[in-house]
Chains A and B, each alone.
Chain A
C-alpha cells in the first residue's frame, strides 16, 4: 500500500543557518551598539507622555477624584477599566513564559523575554489606577495589613483586598521570574561588553553567573517550579480581578462565568499586545530569523481560540440572564445591546468576536500587516469590553429613576494616554539595555544543542525523522 499521508515537519524555530555565536551576536549586539537616533526620538515622546501621566496624577491628588467623570450612579469609571485592561494585557507574558513552558512549547523561547517585560510594565501601569483612585493616596497603606492610626486591620473578606494581594504578588513573581531568566544573558553581555562601567553594572546583576552545569541543574529546577507557580497564579489574578465585579450584587456582574471569561479575555488581549510590539520590534532590530512568521501564526491561532472563547462567554451571559429569570439580569443585557451604550457594545462585539475570525484563513494568519491591524483592533475591543461591563451595569441598574449616563472628562483621557508613556518609557529602556530574546534558552532549543544530533566523530548531523509506512488493520 502506498503512503496516503505525508509528513509535515515542525518548522525550525530559528530560521537561517545560525550558529550559537550568531545568535549571541544578533541579540546582544543590539545592547552593545551605540544608541540609535530613532531610539532617542521614541524615548523623548514616551517621556512626554509619562510627564502627562505624572501631571494628571499630580492634579488628581491635589484636586481629588472629582476631576474624573465619576458621579452617581457610575462611581467606577475609567480607572477600573484601565486597571483591568492593563492587567489583562500583562497576562499574556506569563502565559507565554509559564504555561507554554510547562507544555514544552519550544517556540516560546523567541518571545518569552519580550512578553515578560511587557507583563511587568503593563502591571505597573495597571497598579497605578487602584492606587490613585482611592482619593486620599497618602493613606494608601491602609490597604496593607500594617498597623495604622485606627488600630484596624483591612477586611480580608473583601475582593478589593484580595486584589491588593493578587496584583502585588503577581508583580513580584513576574519580576523574579523575569530576572531569573535574565541572569545567564546578563552574564553573556558582561563577557562581551567593552566599557568598564558596563562591565560593572551587568556583572553585578549577573551575580557572577558562569554557566556551570551544577548551577544549571538547580537553575532549571527553579525555572520549572516558578513556571508551575506562575501558572495557577496568573489564573488566580484575573479570577480575583473578576471577583471585584462578580462578588457584588449588581446585575450583569454577579455571574459565575466571570473568572474563566476574564482569563480568556486577558490572554486574548495580551497576545494581541505582544504581536503589536513584536511586529514593530522584529522589523526595526532585524530579528525576523528569531521571531518568525511561524511564531506569528501560532500566536494568531491562540488569538482565534481565546477570541472565540470570549465570544462564547458573551453568548452564555445572555443565555444565563434569560435562564435565571431575574428581571434585572435580563434587562441589563438587553440594555447593553440596545440601550444608551449600544455603540460601545457593538464596537466590542465587532472587535472581539468578529475580527479574530479572519484567522481561520492560513493566508491571513501569516500576513504580518494584517496581523498587526487585527492586534490593535483586538486591544481596542478589549478596552470596550471592560467599559461595557463597568459602565452599563452601574449606570442602568435597578431603579430607572436613578439611571444616568457616564461621560469621561479630559483628565480621564489624559491619565489613560499617559500610562502609555510609562509603558513605553520602560519598554524602550528594556529594548536598549537588556537582551530582548532569551539567548541561553533560544540556544537550548536549537538542534545543535541536543547531544543526540552529533555522530561518533562529534560532527553535527541534521536530525532526521523516519516516516513509517501506514499500518492497515484490515485483514
Chain B
C-alpha cells in the first residue's frame, strides 16, 4: 500500500448509532434535509428503512422478468429447432409439434434463467463484487456485520460539509463519528 500518497481524499463521514430505531430516525433526518449520497449499514435489513431513506423501488423485478421471458421463448425455440426443424423424428406416431410434452423443460429453463437474473441481477444492481471499499479502512466498521448500525454521508453530495455533517450526527445521538478517507 502506498502510505506516502498525499492526496488523502475524504470519502465521507461515518457515524455509529445504538440501534435500528436510531438508524431509522437519522435516515429520516438526512433524507429530509435533501442529502442524496448517503447510505446506512446494518447487520440485517431493517423494516421500514427504505421509506426513511426514500429509496426508489428496486429494478430487480424487470431484470428477472426479462430473463424469465428469455428462458421461456429460448427454450421453446430450442426444442422447436431440435424436434421439428433440424431432425424431425416420428416417435410412435406422435405429432412433431408436441407442445404439452415440452412444458416441463420450458418451465425448468424459465425458472433457471429467472434465478440467474435474480441472483446476478441483484449483485449487478449492488455493484458487487467490489472487494475494496473506503469504508473497509475503518476498524470500527467491522461491527456493521455483527451488531453495529452505521450511517455514512459521502463527500460526493453537493450539500456535504464535514463540520455540518458531524454536528448533524452528534445531534442525532451518534455513538461514534469518524471521517473516512479514500486511500488510493
* Residues of B close to A448: CB separation below 8 A: 19-20
Closest B residue, CB atoms, query A454: B21
The minimal Cβ–Cβ distance linking A232 to chain B, given in whole angstroms, is 7
Q: Are A213 and B144 in contact (CB under 8 A)?
A: no
Write the B135-155 contact mask toward A (1 if CB under 8 angstroms, else 0).
110000111111100100000
B15 part of interface (Cβ distance < 8 Å): no
Q: How distant is B156 from chain A, measured CB to nearest CB, in Å? A: 14
Q: Say yes or no for A443: interface residue by CB 8 A criterion.
A: yes
Report B-chain residues with C-beta under 8 Å of the C-beta of A4: none
Beyond A165-B105, A210-B41, A213-B45, whether A20 also contacts B146 by CB under 8 A is yes
**B98 with A157: CB separation less than 8 A:** yes
- Residue of A whose beta carbon sits closest to that of B64: A225
Give chain B nearest CB distance to A364 CB in angstroms: 35
B105 near A156 (CB under 8 angstroms)?
yes
Stretch at the interface among A68-76, A184-192, A328-336, A420-428: A184-192
Q: Which residues of A contact B60 (CB under 8 A)?
A: 218, 221-222, 225
Q: Is B1 an interface residue (CB 8 A)?
A: no
Q: Contact: B111 with A207, CB < 8 Å?
A: no
Partner of B126, one of A156, A192, A215: A215
Q: Tell me whether A221 and B58 are in contact (CB under 8 A).
A: yes
Chain A positions 228-280 with a Cβ under 8 Å from a chain B Cβ: 229-230, 232-233, 236, 240, 243
Contact B64–A24 (Cβ < 8 Å): no
When A145-B82, A172-B115, A213-B49 are in contact, do A454 and B41 touch as well, CB less than 8 Å? no
B176 vs chain A, min Cβ distance (A)? 15
B164 within 8 A of A: no
Task: Flag if A208 contacts B131 (CB, 8 Å).
Answer: yes
| CB atoms of A210 and B146 under 8 A apart | no
CB–CB B125/A216 < 8 A:
no
Q: When the two chains form their complex, are residues A169 and B21 in contact, meaning their CB atoms are under 8 A apart?
A: no
From A162, A165, A211, give the contact of B43 (CB < 8 A): A211
| In contact, A451 and B20 (Cβ under 8 angstroms) | yes
If A156-B102, A210-B136, A215-B128 touch, whether A172 touches B112 (CB-CB below 8 Å) is yes
Give chain A interface residues in 119-175, CB to chain B under 8 Å.
145, 151-157, 159, 161-162, 165-166, 169, 172-173
Given A21-B146, A213-B40, A216-B45: A155 in contact with B89 (beta carbons within 8 A): yes
Identify which of residues 49-93 in chain B touch chain A, using a CB-to-CB cut-off of 8 Å: 49-50, 53, 55, 58, 60-61, 64, 78-79, 82-83, 86-87, 89, 91
A219 pairs with B47, CB closer than 8 A: no
- B129's partner among A207, A220, A451 (CB-CB below 8 A) is A207
User: Contacts A153-B83, A219-B122, A449-B46; is A211 near B41 (CB within 8 Å)?
Assistant: yes
Nearest B residue to A236 by beta-carbon distance? Answer: B107
Residues of A within 8 A of B83 (CB): 153, 155-157
User: Which residues of chain B have C-beta atoms less than 8 A from A208's C-beta?
Assistant: 128-133
Q: Which residues of chain B have C-beta atoms less than 8 A from A20's C-beta?
A: 43, 146-147
State in angstroms the CA–CA spacing of A203 and B132 once bound together: 10
Taking the closest CB of chain B, its distance from the CB of A18, in whole angstroms, is 11
Q: Please name all residues of chain A whose beta carbon is closer than 8 Å to the beta carbon of B111 when the two chains form the complex.
A: 169, 173, 229, 232-233, 236
CB-defined A-B contacts under 8 Å, sample of 13 = A21-B147, A156-B102, A157-B98, A162-B105, A191-B143, A208-B132, A208-B133, A212-B40, A218-B58, A220-B45, A226-B119, A229-B114, A236-B107
- Top 4 closest A-B pairs, CB basis? A222-B122, A20-B147, A207-B129, A454-B21
* Residue positions of A touching B, CB distance < 8 A: 19-21, 24, 145, 151-157, 159, 161-162, 165-166, 169, 172-173, 176-177, 179-180, 184, 187-188, 190-192, 203-204, 207-222, 225-226, 229-230, 232-233, 236, 240, 243, 439-441, 443-444, 448-452, 454, 458, 460
Having A214-B55, A222-B60, A443-B43, one finds 8 other A-B pairs with CB under 8 Å, namely: A19-B147, A204-B131, A226-B115, A229-B114, A229-B118, A236-B107, A240-B104, A454-B20
